[in-house]
Amino acid sequence: MEVIISSEPIDRQECQLVEAGLFEDERPLRGPAGLLDWRLNGAISREIINGRITGWFKETVMIPSSRRIQSPKILLIGLGSARRISYPKLREVSAHLLQTLLKIDIHDFCCSIPHSKPYPLECSKAVEVWIEGLADALDLSGKFRGEMRMRIIEEDRWVDEALLGAQTAKVVLKKKMRIKVKQEARS
Protein backbone atom coordinates (compact mmCIF):
# COMPACT_ATOMS: atom_id res chain seq x y z
CA MET A 1 0.00 0.00 0.00
CA GLU A 2 1.22 3.45 -0.87
CA VAL A 3 0.20 6.18 1.57
CA ILE A 4 0.61 9.73 0.33
CA ILE A 5 0.11 12.70 2.62
CA SER A 6 -1.11 15.58 0.47
CA SER A 7 -1.96 19.17 1.24
CA GLU A 8 -3.60 19.59 -2.16
CA PRO A 9 -7.36 20.19 -1.64
CA ILE A 10 -9.68 17.22 -2.03
CA ASP A 11 -11.37 18.69 -5.09
CA ARG A 12 -8.04 18.73 -6.98
CA GLN A 13 -7.07 15.13 -6.30
CA GLU A 14 -6.66 12.94 -9.37
CA CYS A 15 -7.78 9.48 -8.29
CA GLN A 16 -10.60 7.01 -8.89
CA LEU A 17 -12.62 8.21 -5.90
CA VAL A 18 -12.59 10.78 -3.10
CA GLU A 19 -14.00 9.95 0.32
CA ALA A 20 -15.29 12.45 2.85
CA GLY A 21 -16.78 11.83 6.25
CA LEU A 22 -20.06 13.38 7.40
CA PHE A 23 -21.12 13.86 10.99
CA GLU A 24 -24.81 13.54 11.78
CA ASP A 25 -24.74 16.56 14.10
CA GLU A 26 -22.49 18.95 12.19
CA ARG A 27 -24.29 21.50 10.05
CA PRO A 28 -23.24 23.27 7.96
CA LEU A 29 -20.78 20.74 6.62
CA ARG A 30 -17.13 21.41 7.46
CA GLY A 31 -13.75 20.49 6.05
CA PRO A 32 -13.51 18.35 2.91
CA ALA A 33 -17.23 17.48 2.96
CA GLY A 34 -18.04 21.19 3.05
CA LEU A 35 -15.67 21.89 0.17
CA LEU A 36 -17.18 19.08 -1.91
CA ASP A 37 -20.68 20.36 -1.13
CA TRP A 38 -19.66 23.84 -2.27
CA ARG A 39 -18.12 22.46 -5.51
CA LEU A 40 -21.37 20.53 -6.12
CA ASN A 41 -23.47 23.69 -5.62
CA GLY A 42 -24.97 22.45 -2.35
CA ALA A 43 -26.08 19.04 -3.69
CA ILE A 44 -24.97 17.22 -0.53
CA SER A 45 -26.74 19.74 1.72
CA ARG A 46 -29.93 19.35 -0.31
CA GLU A 47 -29.78 15.56 0.15
CA ILE A 48 -29.33 16.09 3.90
CA ILE A 49 -32.24 18.53 4.07
CA ASN A 50 -34.42 16.05 2.13
CA GLY A 51 -33.47 13.26 4.56
CA ARG A 52 -31.68 11.11 1.99
CA ILE A 53 -28.29 11.51 3.68
CA THR A 54 -27.99 11.59 7.48
CA GLY A 55 -24.35 11.08 8.49
CA TRP A 56 -25.31 8.12 10.69
CA PHE A 57 -22.39 5.89 11.58
CA LYS A 58 -21.10 3.98 8.52
CA GLU A 59 -23.89 5.23 6.25
CA THR A 60 -22.33 4.99 2.79
CA VAL A 61 -23.44 7.06 -0.18
CA MET A 62 -21.72 7.31 -3.56
CA ILE A 63 -22.45 10.24 -5.82
CA PRO A 64 -21.00 11.31 -9.16
CA SER A 65 -18.79 14.36 -9.17
CA SER A 66 -20.46 15.70 -12.32
CA ARG A 67 -16.98 16.78 -13.43
CA ARG A 68 -16.92 19.50 -10.79
CA ILE A 69 -13.82 17.96 -9.18
CA GLN A 70 -10.92 15.91 -10.58
CA SER A 71 -12.20 12.54 -9.33
CA PRO A 72 -15.23 11.02 -11.08
CA LYS A 73 -16.73 9.58 -7.87
CA ILE A 74 -17.41 10.82 -4.37
CA LEU A 75 -18.01 8.47 -1.46
CA LEU A 76 -19.59 9.93 1.66
CA ILE A 77 -19.34 7.92 4.86
CA GLY A 78 -21.29 8.69 8.00
CA LEU A 79 -19.19 9.23 11.11
CA GLY A 80 -22.05 9.46 13.61
CA SER A 81 -21.88 12.11 16.31
CA ALA A 82 -18.96 14.55 16.18
CA ARG A 83 -18.85 14.59 19.98
CA ARG A 84 -18.66 10.79 20.16
CA ILE A 85 -16.05 10.13 17.48
CA SER A 86 -13.26 7.97 18.92
CA TYR A 87 -10.23 6.04 17.74
CA PRO A 88 -12.10 2.68 17.74
CA LYS A 89 -14.91 4.22 15.65
CA LEU A 90 -12.38 5.74 13.26
CA ARG A 91 -10.71 2.35 12.85
CA GLU A 92 -14.08 0.73 12.17
CA VAL A 93 -14.97 3.37 9.56
CA SER A 94 -11.66 2.98 7.72
CA ALA A 95 -12.12 -0.83 7.60
CA HIS A 96 -15.65 -0.25 6.26
CA LEU A 97 -14.27 2.17 3.66
CA LEU A 98 -11.73 -0.33 2.36
CA GLN A 99 -14.28 -3.17 2.25
CA THR A 100 -16.52 -0.89 0.18
CA LEU A 101 -13.67 0.07 -2.15
CA LEU A 102 -12.70 -3.56 -2.73
CA LYS A 103 -16.30 -4.40 -3.66
CA ILE A 104 -16.35 -1.69 -6.33
CA ASP A 105 -12.78 -2.34 -7.52
CA ILE A 106 -11.25 0.99 -6.47
CA HIS A 107 -7.56 1.01 -5.54
CA ASP A 108 -6.57 4.66 -6.00
CA PHE A 109 -8.46 6.95 -3.65
CA CYS A 110 -8.09 9.94 -1.40
CA CYS A 111 -9.68 10.50 1.95
CA SER A 112 -9.94 12.87 4.85
CA ILE A 113 -9.54 11.91 8.49
CA PRO A 114 -11.21 14.05 11.16
CA HIS A 115 -8.95 15.24 13.98
CA SER A 116 -8.15 18.14 16.25
CA LYS A 117 -10.60 20.75 17.48
CA PRO A 118 -13.52 20.39 17.63
CA TYR A 119 -12.96 16.60 17.50
CA PRO A 120 -11.39 14.67 20.40
CA LEU A 121 -8.72 13.09 18.17
CA GLU A 122 -5.03 13.88 17.72
CA CYS A 123 -3.83 14.01 14.10
CA SER A 124 -0.95 11.51 14.19
CA LYS A 125 -2.90 8.95 16.21
CA ALA A 126 -5.97 9.35 13.98
CA VAL A 127 -3.88 8.67 10.85
CA GLU A 128 -2.20 5.66 12.49
CA VAL A 129 -5.54 4.17 13.56
CA TRP A 130 -7.06 4.84 10.12
CA ILE A 131 -4.30 2.87 8.39
CA GLU A 132 -4.59 0.07 10.94
CA GLY A 133 -8.32 -0.14 10.14
CA LEU A 134 -7.45 -0.54 6.46
CA ALA A 135 -5.14 -3.42 7.38
CA ASP A 136 -8.01 -4.98 9.37
CA ALA A 137 -10.18 -4.89 6.25
CA LEU A 138 -7.44 -6.44 4.10
CA ASP A 139 -7.13 -9.26 6.64
CA LEU A 140 -10.88 -9.86 6.49
CA SER A 141 -11.10 -9.79 2.72
CA GLY A 142 -8.23 -12.19 2.15
CA LYS A 143 -8.67 -11.72 -1.59
CA PHE A 144 -6.87 -8.46 -2.34
CA ARG A 145 -3.38 -8.98 -3.73
CA GLY A 146 -2.84 -5.84 -5.79
CA GLU A 147 -1.50 -2.41 -5.02
CA MET A 148 -3.54 0.22 -3.21
CA ARG A 149 -2.83 3.96 -3.28
CA MET A 150 -4.35 6.22 -0.66
CA ARG A 151 -3.88 9.96 -0.42
CA ILE A 152 -4.66 11.43 2.97
CA ILE A 153 -5.66 15.08 2.63
CA GLU A 154 -4.24 17.41 5.25
CA GLU A 155 -3.85 21.11 5.76
CA ASP A 156 -0.22 22.27 5.52
CA ARG A 157 -0.02 22.76 9.30
CA TRP A 158 -0.88 19.09 9.94
CA VAL A 159 1.29 17.39 7.28
CA ASP A 160 4.18 16.54 9.65
CA GLU A 161 1.78 15.07 12.22
CA ALA A 162 0.04 13.01 9.53
CA LEU A 163 3.41 11.75 8.26
CA LEU A 164 4.30 10.72 11.83
CA GLY A 165 1.05 8.76 12.13
CA ALA A 166 1.58 7.04 8.77
CA GLN A 167 5.18 6.12 9.66
CA THR A 168 4.03 4.74 13.02
CA ALA A 169 1.41 2.59 11.29
CA LYS A 170 4.09 1.37 8.87
CA VAL A 171 6.23 0.18 11.80
CA VAL A 172 3.29 -1.36 13.68
CA LEU A 173 2.04 -3.21 10.59
CA LYS A 174 5.42 -4.19 9.08
CA LYS A 175 4.75 -7.94 9.50
CA LYS A 176 1.22 -7.64 8.08
CA MET A 177 1.67 -5.48 5.01
CA ARG A 178 4.17 -3.43 3.07
CA ILE A 179 3.48 0.30 3.34
CA LYS A 180 5.30 3.07 1.47
CA VAL A 181 4.80 6.53 2.95
CA LYS A 182 5.54 9.77 1.16
CA GLN A 183 4.55 13.42 1.11
CA GLU A 184 3.11 15.05 -1.97
CA ALA A 185 3.98 18.70 -2.36
CA ARG A 186 1.31 21.19 -3.25
CA SER A 187 1.45 22.15 -6.92
* End-to-end Cα spacing for the chain: 23
Query: Could you list the residue range(s) of the whole structural domain that residue 50 is in?
Result: 2-184
- For the chain, which ranges sit under pLDDT 50? none
Neighbours of 53 (CB within 10 A): 20
What's the confidence (pLDDT) of residue 143? 57
Question: Can you give the CATH number for the domain in which 139 is found?
Answer: 3.40.220.10
* Tally of domains in the chain: 1
What's the confidence (pLDDT) of residue 142? 60
* pLDDT digits 0-9 by tens, 127-173: 999 999 999 988 766 655 678 999 999 999 999 999 999 999 999 99
User: Is the model's pTM score more than 0.85?
Assistant: yes
